[in-house]
Chain A
């Protein structure tokens, strides 16, 4: 059901170069998109796809190169011009003002006004209802953003663009936060839009979606355009190889292993979120030594609250957490660490590292007060640096310098510092929350290898991830979390994506074990 008009080149980006200081984010990129096409931009994190689209949308100015819209050369110096030229963008991190209503967010910047600069809010609501009906993107204009689901927020973002008369929609990683079912809906919406003559560019690093949704795909690697291919003639592996620049195996090597004794027991746990609403609602789970238990689920189903409660960062309302049979419910983080539970936090820059501290100082974050790092309250810098140097070697942190600040490291190396620190504490239970978020393929492989290593050393590993592929590849058993409860546990060998997807969307059977 393609509706591409090959005679109409809606977008031509020619020889685009973008430099940030010494760093070249876009190196001579060319991109052509035709009317009515769904064009995917594929690349790893940091490859430069978002930069390219931010240039198209006028948020950045290219260092050199030119842009043609429908054959006409344009200078897109700010988003206003992009909007006028019919370009709309849905950012990966939604650009929504949380305390505002849906309607207010949609009309912001193009508000219907009455006298005295007064907003005509009735008209705004009418307008929103009208376009939302026309494109089948149902929303309630009067809802506040913080009260609606992520999927709904995404619709608001798309409506924002359509309200401005967008002919070309740029969607930046649109599926990152959606359930498999919501993704299907989104793909349908995209099809509808192209039928209406809209053109869509999606930025993504997920190959499967490209196969399902896109007509053409441009692959970008390290700021350079590698190729543009017709998706129907290209396999996923081919796309992957082009994206990474070498052959990639998505399988994680691991041998079968008997699991051992019960190490972490979570019993009927209830935890509230920031808004004082129960986010974890009577969750029970057991993790054994020598296994990786993966928790799959869509973002916002209580994963963050669960991890924070386990690590002592959030109060447990009811229920129990036991490590090695010892009750650690509502213990302080210190006590939990002392009870041999370690964790790789979800947000490494927020929780995992003190970015202003050196690598060495970060390596002792949990042990700074212990000998040999300190004696009688006085730090021993020599011992600290020696320890850090050893870990840097062992975990291949680059650059090999314990005196540089953690903020100077790449994401992958920052994660290595955290893993090194956590694993060196020799815990019995290791919690890994989204351990590969934002990392490139090489670093992802390292993290997965480390997790398997810990499992092979008879640790109990609890992996919580939003990436279903990751959970399926790494885990021995998979638990699915939905609305703060575990709705099913399956053996990884028997798992298939459809069943898991259904469970993640709430269609699972609770009694299933």
Chain B
């Protein structure tokens, strides 16, 4: 650690100081600007932006099942965002949430399928296994940084691809693979976290749901306990970072590793710990995704984007636990609502990626926002004077 390494010098180190600051005001202004950019793009392409946004909003809130889908969609990205934010706060840039998510998913699929236990043991076991495996996976990057000065951005990019191919390898193993498909067998019912999964398929469940429109509609979705776990994880992350000696250590290393080292904190161990925790969080996201939505894993042609989307969610949420919950819901709402403008208006739903890109882009430039605000103030001042 004592040599000047690549790790000392490059981008993430310097940037993190800013990333951890993220303020609510800038986020809100950036979101607003993102919507304006989206509207402009839609208008240029010949669509009515107000109509499009109307479709998106009603596509998210007009039915209980829509809201449920939004919540379901927000769960994995809230957790990967927590993973990324945790690493950010401790001075590391975890681009590897994507791969750690995959590892969590693989582990959950294996433990969910091969192990047979009652639910109250099986579910925690699957989750813990997914978190442990992904934690170790993330720990590799922490170890490489601490020991060899390999920058975590590069090592996690590599680890993402290794995880993807590992996933594809495991999916195809005979005995795990579902015959004639590129998928594995589904996990045992005991590892399933969908709310009232058994009951809602039973005759009496169906009967009851038919009589209750709200629940009937909401529970048609694979609404699951994942979101509750995401909130619990958000609280744990907040508590750990702000109230514990571990958080004090990790943040000190993140803000200024030289001072932390001088103060007697073991910097290498902190980096490792931090990446393990960050990886475990992303792994939880992957595990919950398997337990709640996909039930199995499939061969992947490309990255699914849970990790990368998590980066955006973390940035928009200002890296705070509370902010991430809201920005995760926003992101998911955009994705889910955005998918509806295609069939309704023929407007490309990818406009939401442009909007998200624009929001992140503005978040990167507090100086621009300050400049804009300054000019607005000036104009107002001039008006008032005139």
Are A and B direct contacts in the complex by CB distance below 8 Å?
yes
Interface residues of A (CB under 8 A from B): 274, 276, 308, 311, 313-315, 332-334, 337, 343, 345, 350-357, 361, 365-366, 368-369, 374, 377-379
Q: How far is the CA of A308 from the CA of B261 in the complex (A)?
A: 11
Which one of A274, A337, A379 lies within 8 Å of B3 (CB-CB)? A274
Contact A311 B262 (CB under 8 A): yes
B residues near A334, Cβ cutoff 8 Å? 264-266
Contact B248 A379 (CB under 8 A): yes
A residues near B4, Cβ cutoff 8 Å? 274
B residues near A354, Cβ cutoff 8 Å? 252, 255-256, 259-260
Q: How far is the CA of A368 from the CA of B251 in the complex (A)?
A: 13
For residue A381, which residue of chain B has the nearest CB?
B243
For residue B262, which residue of chain A has the nearest CB?
A351
Q: How far is the CA of A378 from the CA of B262 in the complex (A)?
A: 22
B residues near A368, Cβ cutoff 8 Å? 245, 248-249
Contact A352 B252 (CB under 8 A): no
Q: How far is the CA of A457 from the CA of B3 in the complex (A)?
A: 37
Which one of A332, A353, A356, A374 lies within 8 Å of B17 (CB-CB)? A356
A–B complex contacts, Cβ < 8 Å, 5 sampled: A351-B258, A354-B255, A356-B256, A366-B264, A378-B243
Main secondary structure of the interface of B (DSSP, over half): helix
Q: Could you say which of A343, A354, A357 has the most chain B C-beta atoms within 10 Å of its C-beta?
A: A354
Contact B264 A332 (CB under 8 A): yes
* Interface size of B in residues (CB-CB distance below 8 Å): 25
Interface residues of B (CB under 8 A from A): 2-4, 17, 20, 243-249, 251-252, 255-256, 258-266
For residue A374, which residue of chain B has the nearest CB?
B245
Contact A378 B263 (CB under 8 A): no
Which one of A337, A345, A351 lies within 8 Å of B264 (CB-CB)? A337
For residue B263, which residue of chain A has the nearest CB?
A365
Contact B252 A357 (CB under 8 A): yes
Q: How far is the CA of A377 from the CA of B266 in the complex (A)?
A: 16
9 closest A-B pairs by beta carbon, nearest first, are A334-B264, A365-B263, A356-B255, A351-B262, A333-B264, A354-B256, A374-B245, A354-B255, A369-B245
Q: How far is the CA of A374 from the CA of B20 in the complex (A)?
A: 24
Contact B259 A351 (CB under 8 A): yes
A residues near B17, Cβ cutoff 8 Å? 356
Q: How far is the CA of A313 from the CA of B252 in the complex (A)?
A: 16
A residues near B260, Cβ cutoff 8 Å? 354, 365
- Nearest-neighbour CB distance to chain A for B272, whole angstroms, equals 16
For residue A362, which residue of chain B has the nearest CB?
B259
Q: How far is the CA of A378 from the CA of B243 in the complex (A)?
A: 6
B residues near A351, Cβ cutoff 8 Å? 258-259, 262
- Nearest-neighbour CB distance to chain A for B255, whole angstroms, equals 4
Contact A314 B2 (CB under 8 A): yes
Contact B245 A379 (CB under 8 A): yes
Q: How far is the CA of A369 from the CA of B243 in the complex (A)?
A: 12
Known: A315-B2, A337-B264, A357-B252. A352 touches B244 (CB 8 A): no
- Nearest-neighbour CB distance to chain A for B132, whole angstroms, equals 21
Contact B263 A333 (CB under 8 A): yes
A residues near B266, Cβ cutoff 8 Å? 332, 334
Contact A357 B263 (CB under 8 A): no
Known: A333-B262, A352-B262. A379 touches B255 (CB 8 A): no
Q: How far is the CA of A431 from the CA of B125 in the complex (A)?
A: 52
Which one of B3, B246, B255 lies within 8 Å of A357 (CB-CB)? B255
Contact B261 A365 (CB under 8 A): no
- Nearest-neighbour CB distance to chain A for B298, whole angstroms, equals 41
Contact A352 B245 (CB under 8 A): no
For residue B242, which residue of chain A has the nearest CB?
A379
Contact A353 B259 (CB under 8 A): yes
- Nearest-neighbour CB distance to chain A for B312, whole angstroms, equals 24
Q: How far is the CA of A308 from the CA of B258 in the complex (A)?
A: 11
Contact A355 B264 (CB under 8 A): no
Known: A274-B4, A366-B263, A368-B249. A353 touches B244 (CB 8 A): no
Contact B263 A313 (CB under 8 A): no
Known: A333-B264, A334-B264. A355 touches B256 (CB 8 A): yes
Q: How far is the CA of A311 from the CA of B17 in the complex (A)?
A: 26
Q: How far is the CA of A350 from the CA of B256 in the complex (A)?
A: 7
Q: How far is the CA of A365 from the CA of B266 in the complex (A)?
A: 13
Q: A354-B255, A368-B245, A377-B244 are in contact. List 19 more A-B contacts (CB 8 A).
A: A274-B2, A274-B4, A308-B2, A313-B262, A332-B264, A332-B266, A333-B261, A333-B262, A351-B259, A356-B20, A357-B251, A365-B252, A365-B259, A365-B260, A365-B263, A368-B248, A368-B249, A369-B245, A374-B245
Contact B245 A377 (CB under 8 A): yes
For residue B264, which residue of chain A has the nearest CB?
A334
Q: How far is the CA of A353 from the CA of B258 in the complex (A)?
A: 9
- Nearest-neighbour CB distance to chain A for B383, whole angstroms, equals 25
- Nearest-neighbour CB distance to chain B for A365, whole angstroms, equals 4
Q: How far is the CA of A374 from the CA of B246 in the complex (A)?
A: 11
For residue A369, which residue of chain B has the nearest CB?
B245
B residues near A276, Cβ cutoff 8 Å? 3
Known: A274-B3, A332-B264, A366-B263. A377 touches B256 (CB 8 A): no
Q: How far is the CA of A93 from the CA of B258 in the complex (A)?
A: 22
For residue A350, which residue of chain B has the nearest CB?
B258
Contact A379 B244 (CB under 8 A): yes
Q: How far is the CA of A351 from the CA of B245 in the complex (A)?
A: 20
Contact A379 B252 (CB under 8 A): no
- Nearest-neighbour CB distance to chain B for A469, whole angstroms, equals 27
Q: How far is the CA of A378 from the CA of B259 in the complex (A)?
A: 22
- Nearest-neighbour CB distance to chain B for A305, whole angstroms, equals 10
Contact B259 A352 (CB under 8 A): yes
Q: How far is the CA of A308 from the CA of B259 in the complex (A)?
A: 12
A residues near B265, Cβ cutoff 8 Å? 334
Q: How far is the CA of A452 from the CA of B60 in the complex (A)?
A: 70
B residues near A333, Cβ cutoff 8 Å? 261-264
A residues near B245, Cβ cutoff 8 Å? 368-369, 374, 377-379
Contact B255 A355 (CB under 8 A): yes
B residues near A350, Cβ cutoff 8 Å? 256, 258-259
For residue A347, which residue of chain B has the nearest CB?
B258
- Nearest-neighbour CB distance to chain B for A315, whole angstroms, equals 6
Q: How far is the CA of A369 from the CA of B249 in the complex (A)?
A: 9
B residues near A274, Cβ cutoff 8 Å? 2-4
For residue B248, which residue of chain A has the nearest CB?
A368
Known: A314-B2, A357-B255, A365-B252. A379 touches B263 (CB 8 A): no
For residue A334, which residue of chain B has the nearest CB?
B264
Q: How far is the CA of A274 from the CA of B20 in the complex (A)?
A: 30
A residues near B3, Cβ cutoff 8 Å? 274, 276
B residues near A378, Cβ cutoff 8 Å? 243-245
Q: How far is the CA of A345 from the CA of B264 in the complex (A)?
A: 13
B residues near A377, Cβ cutoff 8 Å? 244-246
- Nearest-neighbour CB distance to chain B for A461, whole angstroms, equals 18
For residue B2, which residue of chain A has the nearest CB?
A314
- Nearest-neighbour CB distance to chain B for A94, whole angstroms, equals 18
A residues near B262, Cβ cutoff 8 Å? 311, 313, 333, 343, 345, 351-352, 365
- Nearest-neighbour CB distance to chain A for B249, whole angstroms, equals 7
- Nearest-neighbour CB distance to chain B for A198, whole angstroms, equals 38
- Nearest-neighbour CB distance to chain A for B319, whole angstroms, equals 13
A residues near B2, Cβ cutoff 8 Å? 274, 308, 313-315
Q: How far is the CA of A314 from the CA of B3 in the complex (A)?
A: 9
Q: How far is the CA of A357 from the CA of B251 in the complex (A)?
A: 9
- Nearest-neighbour CB distance to chain B for A302, whole angstroms, equals 15
B residues near A343, Cβ cutoff 8 Å? 262
